[in-house]
Amino acid sequence: MRAQMLKWGNSLAVRIPKPVAEEASLKEGDAIEIEVAEEGTIQLLRIGKVPTLAQLVSQITPENRYAEVGTGLERGKEAVEW
């Protein structure tokens, strides 16, 4: 399928035809990364969704936790009562 390069401000733009977008399951707002694969070849790579805090915390295990780090004595108003 052919498309045409268009000027968009100081950049260039290409419209992705609807059948191609549907086949690639692309929709408005999807994040993609653009790479030059070889001279004259461009790849569009889908960027995964940004994980939520809950998803990140669920991946914490005893094996990948850091030990507690001491920062020395309290100074000024650093004291916190727990």
What pTM value is reported for the model? 0.51
With a CB cutoff of 8 Å and minimum separation 6, the contacts of 47 are 31, 32, 33
State the pLDDT confidence band at 58, using cuts at 50, 70 and 90.
Answer: very high
If one compares 74 and 27, the residue with the highest pLDDT of the two is 27
pLDDT of res. 50: 78
- CATH classification of 5-64, choosing from 1.20.1290.10, 2.10.260.10, 3.40.50.1220, 3.40.50.720? 2.10.260.10
Enumerate the domain spans of the chain.
Answer: 5-64
Total Cβ atoms within 10 A of residue 21: 14
Mean pLDDT calculated for residue range 55-74: 90
